[in-house]
Chains A and B, each alone.
Chain A
Amino acid sequence: GDENPEEAKSSAVASSQIFHSDGGEMEPDTMEIKSVSEFFTKMHMGSLMSRQRG
């Protein structure tokens, strides 16, 4: 799907709560993601590059 994979399914929500979510069903919030692994990879690549250059 095109959505946030984390988008919660509403099955856990009682229908009464949905009846109060007036004004239409909204799209999911988009949270900004930071990642240790990405940072780690970049850092690792960086040190490899500098080693090659050196």
Chain B
Amino acid sequence: MEVSCLELALEGERLCKVGDYRAGVSFFEAAIQVGTEDLQVLSAIYSQLGNAYFHLHDYAKALDFHRHDLTLTRTIGDLLGEAKASGNLGNTLKVLGRFDEAVVCCQRHLDIARDINDKVGQARALYNFGNVYHAKGKSICWSGAEPGDFPEDVMIALKKAAEYYEANLAIVKELGDRAAQGRTYGNLGNTHYLLGNFGKAVASHEQRLLIAKEFGDRSAERRAYCNLGNAFIFLGEFEVAAEHYKRSLQLARQLKDRAVEAQACYSLGNTYTLLQDYERAIDYHLKHLIIAQDLNDRIGEGRACWSLGNAHTALGNHDQAMHFAEKHLEICKETGDRSGELTARMNVSDLQTVLGLSYSTNNSTLSENKEIDYNLHGAKPRMSRRHSMENLELMKLTPDKMNVRT
């Protein structure tokens, strides 16, 4: 019995709806093999193939199919179809880092939506526009700088992102679309955070949290808590940040998401370091270490060792500190992290000096070692690095400079 293109496409559609994109792709490709003379059906197949490949992170193929869809919709003069194809193509180009082309697609999406007076379409195009400028801003000059202190072109892109999100919000509020408001508040919050507007970031993420709770969306709720924690760190409110990270940790555990659980533990470890509660910091960094090992995440493990080394040093536990510093060094060598390796070598050498001193000063106790750090900081200038952990300097000292904010 012959299976028609339409039947194959319907099965592909069903499979994608339940999240089985791999199988969905097979059915859509089979549908194309059979072929159809109905160009609307073909457009829907191209579009869904593009989205399926997008979800499978095969962006080159997603780009191909959304392009086919765009060409087709233009050929048959299907304006609404063209708007949708432009939106999808824009999102795909954004992920590929081709922001200028993505902007053209977003504009086309927006123009058509305005022409046909489609408010929902306009809002969606504005959200995509915001996302493109947010991603562009982040891509230009990301590492090394602090939020609010990026180069001019980064700030311009981020400000544009905020404007588009605000324009989107005006429409989705008018439409009463709470789900869309939630998404926009989340991304607007992250944009304000990068712009250094931490108060506004908190206000946005609080709205996001409220909407996530309305929908019982625990995954969005967890994201909001994590993002709120990050913003409170920069407001210098470490205790508040810790409370938010703890909620984020609880939800990560409920959601059985080990990677984000590890992330929350790591953020908590860093927060307690900022609060100079090194025992708690160690507790959370150890939790992070265990998960990183379970997930076979060597880079995460290296960071955990680095953090544990610092916390133990702060407590004067130099033997433990040495253990983690050596482990950090070993992992950095393995992962080819040159700057981490340099930091680790300095730490090992510092600790060797301290441990050498402790043995030569008639078995001085660990707490006395701590005194030595302070007293001899002139002779060993690098030890001053640890004392600066008492403030936000921690973030500048982390291997990739951004750990606290993750």
Q: Which residue of A lies closest to B258 (CB)?
A: A11
CB atoms of A26 and B406 under 8 A apart? no
Total number of A-B contacts with CB less than 8 angstroms?
A: 170
A interface, size bucket: 35 or more
- B312 interface contact, C-beta 8 A: no
User: A3's contact among B47, B124, B217, B292, by CB below 8 Å, is which?
Assistant: B217
- B79 interface contact, C-beta 8 A: no
In the complex, per-residue mask of B42-81: 1 if CB is within 8 Å of any chain A CB, else 0: 0111011001001100000000000001000000000001
Q: In the complex, what distance in Å separates the CA atom of A6 from the CA atom of B18?
A: 8
Q: In the complex, what distance in Å separates the CA atom of A23 from the CA atom of B194?
A: 6
Query: Residues of B contacting A18 with CB < 8 Å?
Result: 259-260, 262-263, 406
CB atoms of A24 and B227 under 8 A apart? yes
Query: Residues of A contacting B211 with CB < 8 Å?
Result: 2
Q: Which residue of A lies closest to B267 (CB)?
A: A19
- B84 interface contact, C-beta 8 A: yes
- Would A32 and B87 be within 8 Å (CB), given that A15-B295, A22-B402 are in contact? yes
CB atoms of A25 and B256 under 8 A apart? no
Looking at chain A's contact residues, the main secondary structure is loop
Q: In the complex, what distance in Å separates the CA atom of A10 from the CA atom of B386?
A: 33
- A13 interface contact, C-beta 8 A: yes
CB atoms of B183 and A27 under 8 A apart? yes
CB atoms of B138 and A3 under 8 A apart? no
CB atoms of B81 and A34 under 8 A apart? yes
In the complex, per-residue mask of B258-273: 1 if CB is within 8 Å of any chain A CB, else 0: 1110110010000000
User: B403's contact among A9, A19, A27, A39, by CB below 8 Å, is which?
Assistant: A19
In the complex, per-residue mask of B197-215: 1 if CB is within 8 Å of any chain A CB, else 0: 0000000000000011011
- Would A23 and B405 be within 8 Å (CB), given that A18-B263, A36-B41 are in contact? yes
Q: Give the contacts of B114-151 with A (CB-CB under 8 A).
A: 124, 127-128, 131, 134, 138, 142-143, 147
The 9 closest A-B pairs by CB, nearest first: A16-B299, A1-B217, A24-B190, A32-B84, A2-B179, A2-B215, A34-B47, A27-B183, A34-B44
